[in-house]
Structure 1
Amino acid sequence: MNLKFMDKKIRIITGLFFMGILVSGFAQTDSIQVPDTNLELPSIAENTSVKKDSTNGFKRVKLDGIAAVIGDYVILDSDIDKTLIDLRNQGASTEDVTRCGLLGKLMEDRLYAHQAVQDSILVSDDEVNLTGDRQLQSLVQQIGSMAKVLKYYKKDNEADFREELYKINKLRMLSEKMQQKIVSDIEITPEEVRQFYNKIPESERPVIGAEMEIAQIVKEPEPSEDEIQKVIDKLNSIKADIEDNDASFNVKAILYSQGPSKSKGGAIPSVTKESSYVTEFKDVAFSLQEGEVSEPFETQFGWHIMIVEKIRGQERDVRHILLQPEITQSTLDKLKVELDSIRQNVMDGKYTFEEAALNFSDQKETKFDGGKLRNPQDFGPRFELTKMDPELYNQVRNLKDDEISMPIFEQDPRGGAPKYKIMKITNRYDEHVADFAQDYIKIQQLAKTEKQYKAIKEWMNEHIEDTYITVNEANRECEFANNWVKE
């Protein structure tokens, strides 16, 4: 979407504030990407330092100065350097990023955190420490060892690194909770959406790229009872070897599991009740004691056994072994023939595609809506061509209006059973200037974003006035988005 009608500051807020791209300290999220070893991360420097010179004895070196103070928080010059490097490590473009801009963002984060403390918004030590644990696990897995992690980040020991991660994560989490509180109650009415749309000059209204709506009918194979029993017997055999002979669950997973975590010995760390794993998987994870191996259980992906390796409060580190009953080629061939028949009957007018989806599709998420797919970005029915998943685009790109695809074979990327499906493009929308009725959902989201931005701006102005803030003389010439330099 062409958002040229929006104020530049609103676009920055949309891109960085609400999407959370800009990071503070080592990491914005619980997972940390592999650092770019061609970039040297500055270590936390002291406010004063001296260095011995072989000819002149001791001499002064440049200090790590204080860039700004926000309430109880101090921002050092090195914090700005680290944030810039962290942005690069996260893959964000830094072409238009300035030191003044970064300092302004760091000041915003600290004002949120400062006010969160004043408002008694709490972040528990357990919550912060668990986040640090996940970050360290991710770094060790990606870089190779804790020693390499400490060497890269110039830390003498793990305790020092954990302490610094704690401080960074505590600030970040307080800041995020404060931001969520500011915008949590903001709603947008249809009248506000209409007013937002009408105030955009016609020459500056956003351009919506070409879009399409897609429907599908899916047939999923059912394994035979004999194949299911074979898998259950195999899992029981593995379970017995682990419990009776002290066999390694890790090794068994590498040898036998058919899930995506196979190479990691079936390891899935930090499972919570809010995690996106299927309900059956989470239910078993929270029913076991440490070291206990489950009975075989079924999910949509197949049959599993699980062991809980570590319980930390409301989190579980687990390993699992996934086996899928064999689906014979003859079973898959029958699905293809069945879909061929459904396709032909729709083309012959015996029933509509929507009626066929309701009566014959095995995909519960779409069958009750005429087989209509939902865009995961906004849960609307439209897919913008330039932003579609490449695999989905390739499946429908050659379909003409009212044409139904031949049966398409598809492997489940999450590890489930393969399936066949037929697809149809139900609507097409050429590139066009945004229309209030046709593009209401997109305009509604833009209107809500603007309203959230205004609320944040008002909150920021109010609390800047009420908070102790000082900016180093060297940074007073910066053109900040907020009035940090009080007169």
Structure 2
Amino acid sequence: MSRIKCSFLLGVFFVLVSVQVSAQLEKGQLVDGIAAVIGDEIVLESDVEEQINYAKQQGSQMLDKCKVMESILINKIIVHEAKRDTLIENRSAAIRENVEMKYNQILSQFPDERAMLSAYKFRTGFEMKNAIEKIDTDQYYGQAKYQSITMKADVTPNEVTDFYNTFKLQLPEVKDEVTLAQISMYPKLTEAHKEEIINRLKKIKQDILSGESFESQARIYSEDPGSAANGGLMKNISRGQMVKPFEAAALNLQEGEISDPIESEFGFHIIQLERKAGKIYDARHILIATTPNSDEIAAAKKELDSIRTLIMDGKMTFKEAAYKFSDDKRTKFNAGILTNNDGSDKLERISLPPTLGYQIAGYNKGDITEVYEDEMNRRKVVTMVKIEDSIPAHQLSIETDYDRIKQMALNKKKSEMIDKWVKERIPHVFISIDNRYSNCTFEGDLQKAILTK
């Protein structure tokens, strides 16, 4: 495989994982200075260090700074050309609007903003938001161009066989895998329990109207980890970003007005509208989560266990039950089937969440686990899992793993298409690198195009 192909693959890797990286940003130890310019795209020295640090965390051996820079250069060529492609929708505004939501999602994992910025080594929230926007922009344009170049790629059965015969000694061993389907249900609160929560919020609202600040009450009582420490404040909310009951209540308020308690999938809220400007608004809220008590959990277990009995007795299929009863929106319309990040339903046992791995231990293909307690979207659920398939560890074989090998062959063909496209575009893109990389030797066509400062 040519060096340009290797570096492109590394570059695509960084683009494709950028959604995950945005939740693990390590922008600290900033190194000032522009490392490279590709068209109108700028690469900072800190960007190079960031890629190297992430590669180290992932156990990559490809840590040579020159090779990392080469992958970034090729990735940036793709992004630069994508932004100039009039057939690719300009989504800069949408990406910018989405930054606040992602920022708040990350913030929800920490007690306060200061703790988050310290953990990710950013100096300010503004700096972190800029980094998220930059990563998401590159990811969007990089993927859009990649898809437009490779959209017609296909492989024939003969090409799959040729690929297998050529690379079979290099193909990885498949680890123990399972295909799983699940039904998860949120325990239902009794009307008395709901009334208790509503009355708590009514009392909090009355205290605010009597002189307590909404901000202080949110810090004391709100159970929203993403906003409680900030006095319940959520800024620059885009229409459509929040769940419908929340948004409907917030946008029906006048600035400064406080809503009555409203129910959403997360619990009960009171909301204060701070500011409304076009499609953007700021609001504070106090959330009391609908945390079920032991009796409500027991009732949910009993209900799901009765559904399990219907399935075991052949009166209903697992697929029908998932569609009718499951509260897991990710899987209920797909027969309850769990998938991994790349959409595959084959899950490595070793990578399963601990609770799930423990619950399916000892079960065989076709078995259904007992009903057990778990968490989903930070809420208590009761769950049962069906083992749809169990695949022992084995070496990839064309007889048993045709679809997987076909995808590998297709990926190789796509890589070759990108390789050819990049080589054709390199002479037409301005590329300049800082002289600290003057000793690097890049792939031939790339080396010719570089103007060292």
TM-score, length of structure 1 as denominator length: 0.69
1:107 aligns with 2:73: yes
CA distance in 1: counterparts of 2:31 and 2:362, whole angstroms: 52
User: In the alignment, which of 213, 216, 222 is matched to residue 182 of structure 2?
Assistant: 216
Equivalence map 1:46-445=2 (5 Å): 69-71=37-39, 79-80=44-45, 83-84=48-49, 87-88=52-53, 91=57, 96-108=62-74, 110-112=76-78, 114-115=80-81, 118-119=84-85, 131=99, 142-143=113-114, 175-185=138-148, 186-187=150-151, 191-192=155-156, 195-196=159-160, 198-201=162-165, 202-242=168-208, 244-261=209-226, 262-269=228-235, 271-273=237-239, 275=241, 278-284=243-249, 290-309=255-274, 314-324=279-289, 327-343=292-308, 347=312, 349=313, 351=315, 354=318, 357=321, 361-363=325-327, 365=329, 366=331, 370=335, 372-410=336-374, 412-416=375-379, 418-435=380-397, 439=401, 442-443=404-405, 445=407
CA distance in 2: counterparts of 1:246 and 1:447, whole angstroms: 68
1:16 aligns with 2:14: yes
SS in 2 for 1:254: helix
Shift of the alpha carbon at 1:440?
5.8
- 1:429–1:254 CA distance, 2 compared to 1 (3 A): same
**Letter paired with 2:261:** P
**Counterpart position of 1:43:** 32
CA distance in 1: counterparts of 2:306 and 2:116, whole angstroms: 56
- 1:329–1:467 CA distance, 2 compared to 1 (3 A): closer
CA distance in 2: counterparts of 1:214 and 1:377, whole angstroms: 15
1:321-359 CA distance string (max 9 Å, x none): 222457453343334344445545655x45365277359
1:425-453 CA distance string (max 9 Å, x none): 23211123345686566456545544443
- 1:19–1:225 CA distance, 2 compared to 1 (3 A): same
CA distance in 2: counterparts of 1:188 and 1:126, whole angstroms: 28
CA distance in 2: counterparts of 1:340 and 1:164, whole angstroms: 46
- 1:254–1:119 CA distance, 2 compared to 1 (3 A): same
CA distance in 2: counterparts of 1:316 and 1:422, whole angstroms: 40
Shift of the alpha carbon at 1:18?
2.5
CA distance in 2: counterparts of 1:473 and 1:356, whole angstroms: 64
CA distance in 2: counterparts of 1:373 and 1:267, whole angstroms: 37
CA distance in 1: counterparts of 2:157 and 2:234, whole angstroms: 43
**Letter paired with 1:41:** L
SS in 2 for 1:303: strand
**Counterpart position of 2:427:** 465
SS in 2 for 1:293: coil
Residue-pair matches, total: 433
CA distance in 2: counterparts of 1:468 and 1:367, whole angstroms: 50
- 1:395–1:282 CA distance, 2 compared to 1 (3 A): farther
CA distance in 2: counterparts of 1:296 and 1:438, whole angstroms: 56
1:69-125 CA distance string (max 9 Å, x none): 5445676xxx33663157538956575322212332443355345545654675768
CA distance in 2: counterparts of 1:415 and 1:317, whole angstroms: 24
| 8 A Cα contact 2:15 2:143, kept in partner | no
- 1:474–1:84 CA distance, 2 compared to 1 (3 A): closer
- 1:328–1:470 CA distance, 2 compared to 1 (3 A): closer
| 8 A Cα contact 2:48 2:69, kept in partner | no
**Counterpart position of 1:50:** none
CA distance in 1: counterparts of 2:26 and 2:155, whole angstroms: 47
| 8 A Cα contact 2:111 2:229, kept in partner | no
Shift of the alpha carbon at 1:213?
2.0
CA distance in 2: counterparts of 1:118 and 1:325, whole angstroms: 49
RMSD across aligned positions (CA): 4.7
- 1:86–1:285 CA distance, 2 compared to 1 (3 A): farther
1:486 aligns with 2:451: no
SS in 1 for 2:169: helix
Shift of the alpha carbon at 1:245?
3.0
Instruction: Flag the structure with higher helix content.
Output: 2
- 1:142–1:239 CA distance, 2 compared to 1 (3 A): closer
CA distance in 1: counterparts of 2:185 and 2:135, whole angstroms: 46
**Letter paired with 1:96:** M
**Letter paired with 1:375:** T
CA distance in 2: counterparts of 1:246 and 1:415, whole angstroms: 33
SS in 2 for 1:419: strand
- 1:240–1:195 CA distance, 2 compared to 1 (3 A): farther
1:280-317 CA distance string (max 9 Å, x none): 44554555565443332222232222334455765544
CA distance in 1: counterparts of 2:418 and 2:176, whole angstroms: 33
Shift of the alpha carbon at 1:373?
2.9
CA distance in 2: counterparts of 1:99 and 1:425, whole angstroms: 45
- 1:239–1:360 CA distance, 2 compared to 1 (3 A): same
**Letter paired with 2:361:** R
Query: Percent of aligned pairs with the same residue?
Result: 22
Q: Note the residue ranges of structure 1 that are not aligned, 5 or more in a row.
A: 1-6, 23-27, 45-65
Q: Note the residue ranges of structure 2 that are not aligned, 5 or more in a row.
A: none
